[in-house]
Structures are given as structure tokens and as C-alpha cells.
Structure 1
Amino acid sequence: MTQSSYHLPVLLSECLTHLITDPNGVYVDVTFGGGGHSKAILEKLGEKGTLLAFDQDQDAAQQAAQIQDPRFIFVKANFRYLKRYLRLHKIEKVTGILADLGISSHQIDTAERGFSTRFEGRLDMRMDNDLEKDAIEVLNKYSETELHQILGKYGEVKNAKTLAAALVSARINKPLVESEDLKKVLQKYAPKGKEFKYFAQVYQAIRIEVNEEMQVLEEFLNQVPQVLAPKGRLVVMAYHSLEDRMVKNFIQQGKTFGQADKDFYGNIALPLKNLIKKPIVANEEEVAQNPRARSAKLRVAELS
């Protein structure tokens, strides 16, 4: 794993253009990862600017430790605790928040983390190694009904019910512990010619469940209007439709699910103002350099 691939940030110039409105403002990168976005933000900030970066991953913490800059503060925590840690650092309002959702390239490419279908390894899938629940527990302890719901909801797996039954049946003879154990089961149910996509959908579903990614995103979004300064920006990159739908709905409706709340007179008071009609996507050149950018959708909003 080279440093350059660890640090390859998606839609970097677009993020910076929409995020930084005041070089001396206070910014938050809630998904530090390899630090690519954070380092670029620091380069754009003035002497009085501040950047807080969140990440729960120990590898990310080690990357952050290499940044020696008085304007930079690293918080080793999940960004669902955004408001709590801002308060701890005596920060009431911020100028902009960047979120690069999902899994980092480094996590995918580290075989022992168990995130990728490409490698053999233990089925871990925890973004935070201190989490108690891992993929092994989900696959071996969850009921058939729970697995069916996870595969259908988070992976949009079409034969989720059939696969859930197969997983429960397979684990009776041998616990599903290694990537190879899981892939042996999936191979029988994957559509011909679409095996890779099918595997990816299943892995995504399990990963989202292990890390409570949808709950985390909802908790985070609900805190955003409370911590943004007037005209403060929210810049979010999502990589699959579930995340993007939640972000889009929050920006347009003021909540992650359902319709906007109305007052007695039928008026809608949205906390955020949508700044771009359609999400920004990567061009062909960037996708060629960084395949992860292919599915990225960038949305931008401002505190009303």
C-alpha cells in the first residue's frame, strides 16, 4: 500500500471550493481517513483558521499524528459524537463540515480488516477495532430474519431471503469466520456473470450493520444545523444510494426519512439550503486515476 494511494482524496478541488468560505474559519473533517482532504484544507486555511478531524480508526490516528500544525486538532472518535467533542474543545459554531462517507481505500486494501472480497482474511469489518461486534458475530449469531432484513435493506440483495437461509444452514456445520467461508456460500447464489457485484453488495450490507453506518449518519446529520454558523457549509460525499438518499432527503426535507415538517399554516422551515441542483460527480480522468471516485456523489448545503 503506497502512501499516495492511502491519501488519494476524491473530488478534492470541488470539496475545497464549496467548503472553504473563510480561510480563518473553523472547519471539521468528520472522516479523516488517510488525511488527504484534511491536509488540503490546512493548505487553504489562514493563520487563524482551525481544522478538527474525526476518525475512529487507529490507522487514521497514526496518520493524523504525523501532521504537526497548531491549527489542526485530531479527535479519535466516531463522528456521531460531533457536538460532544466540539463542546469539549470549546467550539460553539463551525464554518464548514466535510464528510467523505463509507469505507476508506486503506481499510479496503488491508487484508486482515476483512472488508474486501479480494483478500483472504478473518471476517472483521470493524472501522473501529474497539467495537465489540464484528462481521463474524453478525453472520453467526443473527437470526435468519435479521440477516434477511440486513441483506435486503443495506445490500439491496435481490435473493436476500434465500441467501439468509443458506447462511444459517452453512454455519451449523462450520462457523463463518474467514472470507473464504462466506464466499463459498455466496458463490452458489450469485447471478452468473455478476458475482463480483453480488459479493460487494453482501459485504456492504454486513459492514453497514457492524458499524451502524446508517444510524451514525442520521445522528450526525441531525447535529449539523445545531453546530453550523450562519451561512456555514455542509459538504458530503456518498458512495451508495442508501447514504446519498439520506443526505439528499435531509437537505431537501430537513429529515433523513419522510416528508418535511410543516407548521400550523403549512409552511416548511428547512434548516439547510440546497446549493447545487444535481450532485457533483467525478470526471473520467479522476475515475481512471481513482476507481473509488466512480460512485461518489457530492452534495452541498448551507445553513439557512
Structure 2
Amino acid sequence: MRHLPVMFSEVMEGLAVKAGGTYLDGTFGRGGHARGVLAQLGPAGRLLVMDKDPEAIAEAGRLAHDDARVAWRRGSFADLARWPLADPGLDGVLLDLGVSSPQLDVAERGFSFGKDGPLDMRMDPDSGESAAQWLAHASEKDIADVLWTYGEERQSRRIARAIVARRGDAPLLRTAQLAELIASVMPRGDSKIHPATRSFQAIRIFINRELVDLEAGLDAALERLKPGGRLAVISFHSLEDRIVKRFMASHAKAPPANRRMPVELPFTPVLRLLDGAQKAGPAELAANPRARSAVLRVAEKLAAAGGAVAA
């Protein structure tokens, strides 16, 4: 299955690519959005790409080999401000969050409960614990907390109890094992969503530190953006979108007045919100059903004095 970049036209419009600008794609994936940016850059333009996934970085390396305007770095976008190539400042940053279609489609990566494979879930398989390793030693309370915090799973305690009981007999090593175990202890209802959906999401987010990295990455992007630069973020579930929405709003709008404060603190906005929350259109949803949960938010960094700079 060919990877389809989500909300491609909306992202390109949001970034408002300048021919001579420098742009950073913090989630290269298979390069759909990155190639769109590259197509709009002139000879003096620069495209920086990052990804944790070794297969994604291999593809980025091939793109860089063919085009000297491209540079790549393996790692999390949380560290983008530490990349010297970003030091001069960026005209745009794109973060396409969550797991990519190629990762979901390859059973061996262990992301999908619909395809049996090793219970891994790491975006960077060379770093940190796999899901199987973590589930083998985590306490029942810690497992329940992760399922509730990152998956909003109401049956988190019941599922955690079942995981701990099962691993006492044999380790959970396969995605199908975990999915079947969760389904066996979940109340039967009329929901069309697989019983393991929220739990798999929660474990994946925890294993990859996705929300922690998102908060650090947003701060880093704001730090490196030039005045007039654009930040575009695609989220795929409410936890991600809530962080993005709050971050952008906190830098764009003054906080509500507090009667208990004797003196109201001055507020200088550093971001301008653009277009609100955008969703994929009907045509894209028909061609790519995975876009149904995507939410795009775009903001522009303002000049130090608080006035907008033309893109």
C-alpha cells in the first residue's frame, strides 16, 4: 500500500513555502509532505528532515543523495533545536504525529492488533524497551495508569489485572496474544471499534514517549522559527490535539483575567493562529480512511514587537 500524506494540500497552504526558505519536517515518514515542500523550494532553499524510524531515515538518505538541498538526522523532533543546521532559523516546521501507514502495515513492527507480529511498537527499534519487555515487568498499577492516561481506557484496571495474571503463566510476546487477551476480558457491546484499540494506542504512546516528545518539540520549534515562520501540526487523537491546541493558544492569546491578581501581567503574543482546526475533506476521506481522525493546526510566529510578519 502506497503511503498517502494526510491533508497534503492543506499542509502546503499552511506552510506557505518560500522559495529560498529553510524548512524542517520532524516526521519524515516516507517523505510525502517533505517532497511537496521540496518541489516549492528554489536553488537556495533548504529542507531538513528528521525521524526515529530507520526505514524512514533510509528513504531520507536516498532523497538527500539525489538533492543537495536536503539534510537528514535520525532522532526525535523533540531535539530539533539541538541540530546545528536549524540554528540560523527556520521558515517552517511540520510535525505529522502518531504512527505512519508503513509502520501499521508491517506486522513485524508490532504496532497493529490486526496483524500478528512481535509485540514491539517502538518507532526506533534500536532504542528503549519494546512493549513486550515493558509488559513483562511493569506493575499492575503502572499498566493501568498508562492505559487510562494515554488511551482513556475505562477498563484499564481490568485489563492490567489480566495482563499480570497471564504473564505469570507465559510472557506476552505477540500482538495477537495481547489483542485476544484484552478482547477476552472486555464487556461485549455494539461498538465497531476493536476492544484492544485504546490499549494498543496507550502502550504505543508510552513506549515512544510521544506526548513528552510533542511538548518538547513544540517548544523547540517555536524557539527555532523565524518571525513569519509557520508551525503546522497534524494530530490523530484528542490527547495530541489538546496539547497542540493549548500550546498554540497559550502563545497567541492572553490568559483569562484573574481577579485575585492585584496587577494584571502584560501579555505579548508570539504566535498568530491560522484557520483554526482543519479536517480532511470528503474526497481525501474516500481515498484514505486513515485521515478521518486527522486535525491540522497552523500558527505563524510573530515579530518581537508582536506584529505579524508577512509570509
TM-score scaled by length of structure 2: 0.90
Residue 70 of structure 2: which of 65, 69, 72 is its match? 72
- Kindly tell me: are residues 97 and 160 of structure 1, through their superposed partners in 2, closer, same or farther at Cα, counting changes over 3 Å? same
* Runs of 4 or more consecutive aligned structure 1 residues displaced over 4 Å after TM superposition: 259-264
Q: How many residues align?
A: 294
- Secondary structure of 1:280's counterpart equals strand
The correspondence of residues 130-279 of structure 1 with structure 2, limited to 5 A, is 130-190=126-186, 191-194=188-191, 196-254=193-251, 265-277=264-276, 279=277
Could you tell me which of 17, 23, 27 is aligned with 1:27? 23
Residue equivalent to 2:6 = 10
Partner SS, residue 96 of structure 1: strand
Distance 2:214 2:257 in 1: 20
TM-aligned CA deviation for residue 253 of structure 1 = 1.3
Cα distance, 1:149–1:282 mapped onto 2, change above 3 Å: same
Contact 1:260 1:268 in 2 (8 A): no
Distance 1:250 1:272 in 2: 10
Going from structure 1 to structure 2, the CA distance change for 1:240 and 1:260 (only over 3 Å counts) comes to farther
Q: 1:118 to 1:302 in 2, by over 3 A?
A: same
* Bigger Cα displacement from structure 2, 132-141 vs 143-152: 132-141
Match of 1:300 in 2: 298
Q: Secondary structure at the match of 2:44?
A: coil
**Deviation by residue 1:103-129 (Cα, 9 ceiling, x = unmatched):** 000000010000001111110000001
Deviates more, 1:153-162 or 1:267-276: 267-276
Cα deviation, 1:187-238, whole Å, max 9, x if unaligned, reads 1233433364431111100000110001000111111221000111000000
Q: Deviations over 1:261-294 (max 9, x none)?
A: 99953333343221123x1101111011111111
Between 136-145 and 204-213, the greater mean CA deviation after superposition: 136-145
Mapped to 2, the partners of 1:198 and 1:179 lie a distance apart of: 13
Partner of 2:57: 61
Distance 1:72 1:9 in 2: 19
Mapped contact 1:287–1:294 kept (Cα < 8 A): yes
User: Secondary structure in 2 aligned to 1:42?
Assistant: helix
DSSP 3-state at the match of 1:302:
strand
Aligned partner of 1:184: which letter? E
Greater displacement, 187-196 / 58-67? 187-196
In 1, distance between residues paired with 2:102 and 2:19? 29
Contact 1:236–1:299, Cα closer than 8 Å, also in 2:
yes
Q: Secondary structure at the match of 1:266?
A: coil
Preserved CA contact (<8 Å) 2:18 2:40: no
- What is the TM-score with the length of structure 1 in the denominator? 0.92
Contact 1:186 1:199 in 2 (8 A): yes
CA distance in 1, matches of 2:223, 2:149: 29
Let me know the Cα RMSD of the aligned residues: 1.9
Query: 1:91 is matched with which residue?
Result: 87
Give identity over the alignment, percent.
37
Q: CA deviation at 1:176?
A: 0.9
Q: Which residue of 2 aligns with 1:285?
A: 283
- Unpaired segments ≥5 residues, structure 1: none
